[in-house]
Structure 1
Amino acid sequence: MSEIKVPAMGESITEGTISRWHVKEGDAVSQGDVLLELETDKVNLEISAEESGVLEKIIRQEGETVEIGESVGLIGDGAGVSPAAPSAKAEVAPALADAGAPSVPSKGDDKQLTGSVSAAVPPPSESTQKASPSARKLARERGIDLGEVQGRDPMGRIYQEDVKAYAPGAAPAAQPPAPAAPVKPAAAAQPEGGYGKPVERQRMSRRRATIAKRLVEAQHTAAMLTTFNEVDMTAILEVRKRRKDKFKEKHDIGLGFMSFFTKAVVGALKQFPMINAEIDGDDIVLKKYYDIGIAVSAKEGLVVPVVRDADRLGFAEIEKSIAELASKARTNTLALSDLQGGTFTITNGGVFGSLLSTPILNTPQVGILGMHKIQIRPVAIDEVRMENRPMMYIALSYDHRIIDGSEAVRFLVTIKELLEDPESLLLEG
C-alpha cells in the first residue's frame, strides 16, 4: 500500500485546498492517472498516481486544506475492497457522527468500519497527539489542548479544521444538534445575517482570497500614485491593417496590440531603470532584465504570467508567448515558474470596455501600465484642424517611495511617443 502525498510546489507555497477528487474509493487507477486537483494561492495542480492499484481510502476530502508532504489517500492492491465498500463507508461515518454509535456493517465492510470506529476513540494527550503544524499553531493560539480535539481522520491525525470545529466540553463524537426549528430546503433562499431579504453566501476560493489579500497589502505598503496620458493609435492601426495578413501567414499568429505595448514598455524601462526595480528593505534592487507580466483574466480571478526576456523577443515571439500563457491561464495549467519573477506588469482593461482606470501595483514591482478601450474622439491636429482619431487612455501606477512624479510622467510620455511612431519600436524596444 502506498500513500498519496501532496508534492512540493515551490518555496512560497506551503499548503493548498483539495478542489476535486477525480476518482472514488474502490476505483482502479493506473500509474499516471490524475487522482485529484489541488488549488493553491497561485496555481492549480493535478496529482497523479505514482503506481497502479486501487484507491482504498480517501483521507482528506474536497474543500479541506492540506500541507506539503501530507498524505491525502491510500493506494493498495484492492485486497479486501468490495464494490460495496465505498458506499458502505459513506454510510458508516455519518452514522457515527450523527448518532454517536457504530452502524452494523454490511458484509466485507470490516476494514472500513474499523477505521471509522477508531476515529470515535478519544485521542491521546497533546504531547503524543499526531497533528499537522497548522493545527498545532492554531491550538496554541486558542489555548486548546489537542488531546481534547476530536479528529475526523481515521488515522488519528488532527488537522486545522478539527481545531476550528472544537468546542470545549464537547463529547468525543459529534452529538445530534439540539431541537430547533425545521430547516427549510436550501433551494429557497432565506434572509440571512440581518439582510432582511434573500441572499446567497459563497466561500471565497483560495486564489480569490489571496488576490484580495495581496491587493490590500499593495495599498498598505506602497505609496501608490497614478498618472495618465493618451495615445493616438492611428499609426499602429495602419501598420496592423497593412501587415496583419502577411504576419499571420508567416508566423501563424495574429498581430495584436500587446506586442506593440510590450516593446514600448521595454524601451521606456531602458530609459527609466528605476521603474524596473523593487524595494528590498532599505535597498533598491535595479533589475537588468525585462520580464514583463501580462495580466490575464481567468475563471478563478486575475493571474499575471510572465513573458521572459521580452527585450530579446520579436513581435511574433511576444504574441506567441502571450497567447500560450493566456491559454494556460484559462485552462488552469499555469506552472508556478510561469508566474514568478516579473519586473513590470501590463494590464488591459480595454478588452472589457474600460475607458479609464487606476491599476493596483503587482508587488514587489513598483510600476504597472494600464491599457484601455480604443475610442474614436475628436482631436485638435493644429490650431485650425480637428479630426476624429482612435484614442486610448493609458495609466501608470507607481510606487512614489522610489519613483518621482516627474520620472513617472516622462516614462508614460515615452511610451506614448513610441506607440505613436511604431517604427521607433524596432530601435528602442
Structure 2
Amino acid sequence: MIEVKVPELAESVTEGTVAEWLKQPGDYVEKGDDIVELETDKVNVEISAEESGVLKETLAEPGDTVKVGDTIAKIDANGEAGETAETTEAPAAEETKEEPKQETKQAEPAEEETNGGQPSRPIASPAARKLAREKGIDLNEISARDPLGRIRQEDILEHEQKQNAPKAQPKEEKKEAPKDDPAKPVERIRMSRRRQTIAKRLVEAQQTAAMLTTFNEVDMTNLMDLRKRRKDKFLDDNGVKLGFMSFFTKAVIGALKKYPYVNAEIQGDEIVLKKFYDVGVAVSTEDGLVVPVVRDADRLDFAGIEKEIGNLAEKAHAKKLGLNDLQGGTFTITNGGVFGSLWSTPILNSPQVGILGMHSIQWRPVALDKDNFENRPMMYIALSYDHRIIDGKDAVGFLVKVKELIEDPESLLLEG
C-alpha cells in the first residue's frame, strides 16, 4: 500500500487545508495525476500520485487541516478500480470480531469461577492478596494483565498509582455562540485559510509598523495623451495593450532609486537596503487579494512589464500562482481606482516598508495660474510607509518624484 503524504510546501509553510479531493476512493489514478488540492496561506497546491494504482481511502475531509508529512490517502498499486478500503477490509473485520469472541470465552472461566451459580472471589496470588489487604484495595476493582485473569502484585501497585494520580481538571464548558434570531436571518460563512491569513497579516502590519500615509495628486493629461497616440502601434508591435501600470511601475522604480530606504526592510536591528527591484502588483481575486511579483522590473521595458502583469493576473484568477510568484517583493503597487476608489490609505505588505496606492481618475478644475482654470484628469496617489526607517521628508520626496515622472511620461524612457 502506497501512502500519499503532504509534501514540503514551501519555506515557512508547514500546513494546509484540504480544499477538494480530485479523485475518489475506488478511482484508478495514473502516476502524476492530481488527486487532492490543498489550500495554503499563500496559494493552492495540487498533490499528485507518485505511483499508479487504485485510490483505496482518503484520511482527511475537505476543510481539515493537515501538516507536512501527514498521510492523507492510500493507493494500492495492485488494486482494481472500484475497490475501496471498506470493500477489501470487510472480511478481515469479520475475522477480527470472531477472535475477540474466542478470547472472551477462554478468559471467562479464569476471571470468575462459579459455586452454585454464585461468583467466587477473584484469582490472586497469596502475595497479591496480602498486599491488597495492607493497602485496603478491593480485588474486584483490579484489572489483571494476566491472560487467564490472575491478579499479581504489579496489578495492585498499578491500580494504586492510578488512584493516587491527580485527577484531570474538568474542561471549561465552551461558551455557546449566540443564537441567531429567526426574525433576523443571517448567513454564516467559514473564512478560507487565505482570507484568515490576509486578515492576520494586515493586523500584524498595523501592529508592528509605525505606519503613516502621505498623499499627492497627479495631473494625468500628458500620460493620457501619450497613451492615446501610442496605444494602437504599441499593441501591434507587442501584442499587449499599453496600460497605466507600466508607467507607474517605471515611475516607482525611478523614485526608489532616488530614495533607497523605501526599497528596504527591517531585520532585527538592521536595515536591509535592496539593490534590486521586484515590484508586487496587487490583484483582487474571488478568494481575496494576492500580490504577485514582477521580478527585476527595472530590466523590463514597458511591453515586458505589461506582459508580466497580465500573465500574473491571469494566473491569479485561475488559481495557478506558485509560491515563487508571491515571495520576495521589495515594494508594492495597488490600484483601488479600478473599483472606483477616490482616496485610501493602503496597508503595508510586510516586511516591505512602502506601498503606493493609485486611485480613480476624475476631471477636476485645476488652476493654471491665478487667473486661469482648466479641467484636467487628476488622480490622487498615496504612499503608506514605515516611519521607523523612512522619514517624512523622504516619503514626501518619493511621492513627488512619482508625480513628476508621471506628469512628464517621456522622461520615464530616459530615467528607465
TM-score by length of 2: 0.78
Question: Who is 1:219 aligned against?
Answer: 206
2:369 to 382, 391, 394: 382
Q: How does 1:10-409 map to 2 (within 5 A)?
A: 10-77=10-77, 79=79, 83=82, 85=84, 89=86, 110=90, 192-193=179-180, 197-409=184-396
Q: Once the 2 structures are TM-superposed, how far is the Cα of residue 113 of structure 1 from its aligned partner? A: 5.3
Question: Who is 1:135 aligned against?
Answer: none
Question: Who is 2:414 aligned against?
Answer: 427
Q: Once the 2 structures are TM-superposed, how far is the Cα of residue 116 of structure 1 from its aligned partner? A: 12
Kindly provide the CA deviation profile for residues 159-210 of structure 1, in whole angstroms up to 9, marking residues without a partner as x. Answer: xxxxxxxx9999xxxxxxxxxxxxxxxxxxxx93569621111111000000
Q: Once the 2 structures are TM-superposed, how far is the Cα of residue 23 of structure 1 from its aligned partner? A: 1.1
**2 CA distance for matches of 1:74 and 1:413?**
60
Q: Once the 2 structures are TM-superposed, how far is the Cα of residue 214 of structure 1 from its aligned partner? A: 0.4
- Of residues 107-116 and 346-355 in structure 1, the stretch that sits farther from structure 2 once superposed is 107-116
**1 CA distance for matches of 2:76 and 2:43?**
29
- Of residues 19-28 and 193-202 in structure 1, the stretch that sits farther from structure 2 once superposed is 193-202
**2 CA distance for matches of 1:115 and 1:17?**
36
Amino acid at match of 1:110: A
Question: SS state of the match for residue 377, structure 2?
Answer: strand
1:418 to 379, 397, 405: 405
**1 CA distance for matches of 2:200 and 2:34?**
31
Residues matched between the structures, number:
341
TM-score by length of 1: 0.75
Amino acid at match of 1:377: R
Does the 8 Å CA contact 1:32/1:49 hold for their aligned counterparts? yes
Distance change (3 Å), C-alpha of 1:42 and 1:51: same
Percent of aligned pairs with the same residue? Answer: 65
**2 CA distance for matches of 1:269 and 1:393?**
19
Amino acid at match of 1:299: E
Q: Once the 2 structures are TM-superposed, how far is the Cα of residue 15 of structure 1 from its aligned partner? A: 0.4
**2 CA distance for matches of 1:304 and 1:315?**
20
Distance change (3 Å), C-alpha of 1:77 and 1:112: farther
Kindly provide the CA deviation profile for residues 54-85 of structure 1, in whole angstroms up to 9, marking residues without a partner as x. Answer: 10111111111111121110111354x67475
Does the 8 Å CA contact 2:29/2:54 hold for their aligned counterparts? yes
Question: SS state of the match for residue 361, structure 1?
Answer: coil
Does the 8 Å CA contact 1:56/1:78 hold for their aligned counterparts? no
- Of residues 262-271 and 297-306 in structure 1, the stretch that sits farther from structure 2 once superposed is 297-306
Distance change (3 Å), C-alpha of 1:290 and 1:112: farther
Distance change (3 Å), C-alpha of 1:82 and 1:43: closer
**2 CA distance for matches of 1:387 and 1:365?**
39
Q: Once the 2 structures are TM-superposed, how far is the Cα of residue 45 of structure 1 from its aligned partner? A: 0.5
Distance change (3 Å), C-alpha of 1:294 and 1:68: same
Q: Once the 2 structures are TM-superposed, how far is the Cα of residue 111 of structure 1 from its aligned partner? A: 6.1
Which stretches in structure 1 are left out of the alignment for 5+ residues? 90-106, 118-166, 171-190
Which stretches in structure 2 are left out of the alignment for 5+ residues? 98-167, 172-177
